[in-house]
Structure 1
Amino acid sequence: MLFNSFEFVVFFVIVFFIYYKSYNNLRFQNALLLVSSYVFYGWWDWRFLSLIIISSFSDYFIGRAIDLNNDKKQRKRLLVLSLLVNLGILGFFKYYNFFTESFTDFISLFGFESNPALLNIVLPVGISFYTFQTMSYTIDIYRGKMKSTDNLLEFMTFVSFFPQLVAGPIERASHLLPQFGKKREFDLFEFKEGAKQALWGLFKKIVIADNCAFYANQIFENSESYPGSVLVIGVVLFAFQIYGDFSGYSDIAIGISRMMGIDLMQNFKSPYLAENIQDFWRRWHISLSTWFRDYVYIPLGGSKVDSSIRRSMNIIITFTVSGFWHGANWTFIIWGFLHSLFYFIQTGYSKNMKSVKILPSKLVQIFNVLITFIAVTFAWIFFRAESFNHAMDYIFEITSSSIIENPVGYLKLMGSSVKPYVIILSLIYLSIFEINNRDAKYSFQVGHFKAPMRILVYLSLIILIIFFRATDGTIDFIYFQF
């Protein structure tokens, strides 16, 4: 069930009405959310509900056992059991064929032949998100950062809460879980603010992401037919497609959760206005980047290790693993590794530039934002490409003399009903709010505008969504595949 579908609108209206009709019965509210979340997820494939239920039950009981056990060895064994269950489920469904094929390719280098038993495995939607969410719960209990809950219903609702179930934000139990133990009554202010945030998310998804997708998909899927100038446009459009798509999902999830009295963490904060790669990851998919910081980078020693080589390896490992989290393909691993290289390059550049004061600080800031955007966009080539060879061919064409060819004729031949001016105007519209709310908690805030201007902004978003939505039908959110 997609947020931008008629089915979801009907589903949400029904759930919302019953939800607040039962405001004086917390247990019923949570049970309603749990059942609704299972319906929402089962809309894709009800068979995979068993994985969520297994993950929920195992981590609930393992979390309780860790919390009630004082023996360090026993606590560690229980934590390992939790990790094995979650990573085992994730590893089998997402990485089995990748590891099997990679091992076969490796041994073939030494003259050995193998006929691997590849499986036709369907990747469950959102599996990477809810497994990481439940793992952080047992890890935090093991570390003594939180106590386990004795309420199974609240825990299962926390794991499966439908707004953020399939594409995040990846919530921490310490933030989200206690909210299911508190009374939630209708709040008109929160409802209106949540609706505005969801509207902004729909605009980013339907107007920006889906319109950019038409050109980006055609260009990437037929990259051998286009010159470098068109390929540059393709990857820039993909950069805005994936941002509008993923941040749009997060905005809708945060918005509808807020309408229901639940606060979700911020997941994006104007990432394309970042001044370096480290700043980019403080602004892009914040729930995932902080997850890897707390559960991978810091346990490896983080930046506190004495050796600069060890510190550099910690950074490389963290970025590379985060790339691998996105998918079972070497292109994702290279994408993550590239970000670690960009991190080192920009760190060295920043240190050297501190002593150079030739340009005004504002110009330096703009230059840094531009360089960071170019680096991030270049890395998106590997993220979007079907294979390593596809990515390299794409890059070679960009660096060839064909980059100076006029791309207009090629774009016209694509025959899209999507008008380029719609994309340009919507990106200008996006940029105004991104710059205005660069460091705000919520990416869509117009409270400082006068009432007529605020109304005009809301109406313009609705009009843009209705009249300038992509005409190729409802398009899935990109991060559903992860």
Structure 2
Amino acid sequence: MPNLSPYADPQYFVLLVVTLIPVMLGLYYGKRFRVYETIWTAAFLLLTFGGIKWHQGVMLVAYVVYQLALVMGYDRYRKRYNQTGVFVALVVLSALPLALVKLSPAVHLPKLALLGFLGISYLTFKTVQVIMELRDGTIKEVSPFLFLRFLLFFPTITSGPIDRYRRFQQDDVAVPSRHDYLELVNTGVMRIFQGFVYKYIIGYIFGTLMLPHVAHQVLMHRSAFLGTGLSWPLVAYMYVYSMYLFFDFAGYSLFAVGISNLMGVRTPMNFNAPFKAQNIKDFWNRWHMSLSFWFRDFVFMRFTFFVMKHRLIKNRIRVSQFAYLVNFLIMGFWHGVTWYYIVYGLFHATAIIINDIWLRYKKRHSAQLPHNRWTQALAVVITFNVVCLSFLIFSGELNTLWFKH
């Protein structure tokens, strides 16, 4: 059985769109064919995780059954009891498969990696979110069938964006009017074409044509970098890699959102002109937004609330600074247990803490500091270069330079 790689080639898009025609016709006439969508999802999951990737398919099925049992069990439990210890245990158990997969290289147990499959991170984020919002009471009840549809929504299953259960439920329950659906289709088609430009034209130029060339130049000038700490090819690599990372990932996300729109689902956007950000906090409100907002709501805010509730740190500014460190350190570990991912997380935490210090200083001295289009342009330039430096760390190229023999 041939395997399909999501959004990898034109044949995939043709198969995707052709098989979605019944779904689109149903929505046009005000009906959602849930049985067909279920069969369609199962077929595409089989094409993606079957064949030579059968072990991933087995792990996906086992994972979904495991998470469904956790969520439905907690949904029933918390209606009678609501003990904090049980809630914490459920969150840990939900995140455990992902943690084991991520830790497998560091603990030298490669067999743990076999628990993983493409998209395990994003499914874990969804499940943890549901458990936490059940605890809060913002989710009153979870339907097993809707939870499975939410978890296995195919356009976003492998790389997001990360949707929220209540928002997804609104789209699933309420079929849009014909006028609204046609507008949604128009938006979806535009996003798909924009994704093609981003991923297959601009991303191809930066990633396939330019990146290998500058990477070769970096290795050719390795001795200069190790001797002086500066290499102009490395600077070029930093900018080229940053452009490739954005256009490739943003293109992929546009595909996922566009296909979701064709299915009558308003999946949230992942990027909003991130290189126009005027500071690092603004950047994280624009870059991989579904992930950054997930970490903000379910790591940063909850850690802050816990520390303040138990008065572990009295100074509110120090609380937020410590929360930033925890938030981005976890994000770094999520990318991988290697020094450059961890440093990447700490780099952004430090940058946001410095940015907050600057913003407080700026507020106190607003009358003495200039604020015009030139200072705004300078802020964009500085932020862009800080972000690109962080992406150089993230790329692992420094690891190659320092440790390649």
TM class by shorter chain equals 0.7 to 0.9
| In structure 2, C-alpha distance between the alignment counterparts of 1:329 and 1:190, rounded to whole Å | 41
Please state whether the residue corresponding to 2:95 is helix, strand or coil. helix
**RCO (CA 8 Å, sep 6+): is it higher in 1 or 2?**
1
| In structure 2, C-alpha distance between the alignment counterparts of 1:147 and 1:59, rounded to whole Å | 18
Please state whether the residue corresponding to 2:140 is helix, strand or coil. coil
Q: Shift in Å at residue 161 of structure 1? A: 1.1
- Residue from 218, 230, 233 that aligns with 2:233: 230
Aligned residue in 2 for 1:284: 287
| In structure 2, C-alpha distance between the alignment counterparts of 1:316 and 1:322, rounded to whole Å | 10
Equivalenced residue count is: 375
Quickly say closer, same or farther: Cα 1:221–1:297, change in 2 above 3 A.
farther
Output one character per residue of 1:197-228: Cα deviation in whole Å (capped at 9) or x when no partner: 11111111111112101322443365231372
Residues 1:192 and 2:178 aligned together: no
Please state whether the residue corresponding to 1:299 is helix, strand or coil. helix
Quickly say closer, same or farther: Cα 1:217–1:130, change in 2 above 3 A.
farther
Tell me, yes or no, if the aligned pair for 2:119 and 2:158 is still in contact at 8 Å.
Answer: yes
Residues 1:148 and 2:141 aligned together: yes
Aligned residue in 2 for 1:269: 272
Tell me, yes or no, if the aligned pair for 1:235 and 1:381 is still in contact at 8 Å.
Answer: yes
| In structure 1, C-alpha distance between the alignment counterparts of 2:159 and 2:135, rounded to whole Å | 26
Please state whether the residue corresponding to 1:8 is helix, strand or coil. helix
Tell me, yes or no, if the aligned pair for 1:79 and 1:142 is still in contact at 8 Å.
Answer: no
| In structure 1, C-alpha distance between the alignment counterparts of 2:152 and 2:294, rounded to whole Å | 18
Residues 1:38 and 2:45 aligned together: yes
Output one character per residue of 1:344-363: Cα deviation in whole Å (capped at 9) or x when no partner: 22223333345265645111
Quickly say closer, same or farther: Cα 1:241–1:25, change in 2 above 3 A.
closer
Superposed, 1:153-164 pairs within 5 Å as 153-164=145-156
Please state whether the residue corresponding to 2:158 is helix, strand or coil. coil
Q: Shift in Å at residue 230 of structure 1? A: 2.1
Please state whether the residue corresponding to 2:386 is helix, strand or coil. helix
Unpaired runs of at least 5, structure 1: 102-116, 394-482
| In structure 2, C-alpha distance between the alignment counterparts of 1:58 and 1:206, rounded to whole Å | 37
| In structure 2, C-alpha distance between the alignment counterparts of 1:340 and 1:361, rounded to whole Å | 27
Output one character per residue of 1:272-301: Cα deviation in whole Å (capped at 9) or x when no partner: 111111111111111111111111111211
Q: Shift in Å at residue 262 of structure 1? A: 0.7
Q: Shift in Å at residue 321 of structure 1? A: 1.0
Unpaired runs of at least 5, structure 2: 225-230
Which structure dedicates a bigger proportion of its chain to helix?
A: 2
| In structure 2, C-alpha distance between the alignment counterparts of 1:171 and 1:209, rounded to whole Å | 25
Tell me, yes or no, if the aligned pair for 1:20 and 1:185 is still in contact at 8 Å.
Answer: no
Q: Shift in Å at residue 239 of structure 1? A: 0.8
**TM-score computed with the length of structure 2 as normaliser:** 0.83
1:54 partner amino acid: A
Please state whether the residue corresponding to 1:300 is helix, strand or coil. helix
Residues 1:219 and 2:222 aligned together: no
Tell me, yes or no, if the aligned pair for 2:175 and 2:264 is still in contact at 8 Å.
Answer: no
2:37 partner amino acid: N
Superposed, 1:305-344 pairs within 5 Å as 306-307=314-315, 308-344=317-353
Identity within the alignment, %:
23
Q: Shift in Å at residue 327 of structure 1? A: 1.9
Tell me, yes or no, if the aligned pair for 2:24 and 2:262 is still in contact at 8 Å.
Answer: no
Output one character per residue of 1:113-158: Cα deviation in whole Å (capped at 9) or x when no partner: xxxx5548465222211111122111211221102323x3332121
Tell me, yes or no, if the aligned pair for 1:316 and 1:337 is still in contact at 8 Å.
Answer: yes
Aligned residue in 2 for 1:434: none
Residues 1:83 and 2:92 aligned together: yes
Superposed, 1:76-115 pairs within 5 Å as 76-77=85-86, 80-81=89-90, 83-84=92-93, 86-98=94-106, 100=107
Aligned residue in 2 for 1:131: 124
Please state whether the residue corresponding to 1:168 is helix, strand or coil. coil
**TM-score computed with the length of structure 1 as normaliser:** 0.71
| In structure 2, C-alpha distance between the alignment counterparts of 1:72 and 1:143, rounded to whole Å | 13
2:163 partner amino acid: E
Superposed, 1:279-428 pairs within 5 Å as 279-301=282-304, 306-307=314-315, 308-354=317-363, 355=365, 357=368, 359-386=370-397, 388=399, 390=401
Aligned residue in 1 for 2:22: 18
Tell me, yes or no, if the aligned pair for 1:126 and 1:167 is still in contact at 8 Å.
Answer: yes
Quickly say closer, same or farther: Cα 1:167–1:18, change in 2 above 3 A.
same
Aligned residue in 1 for 2:228: none
1:11 partner amino acid: L
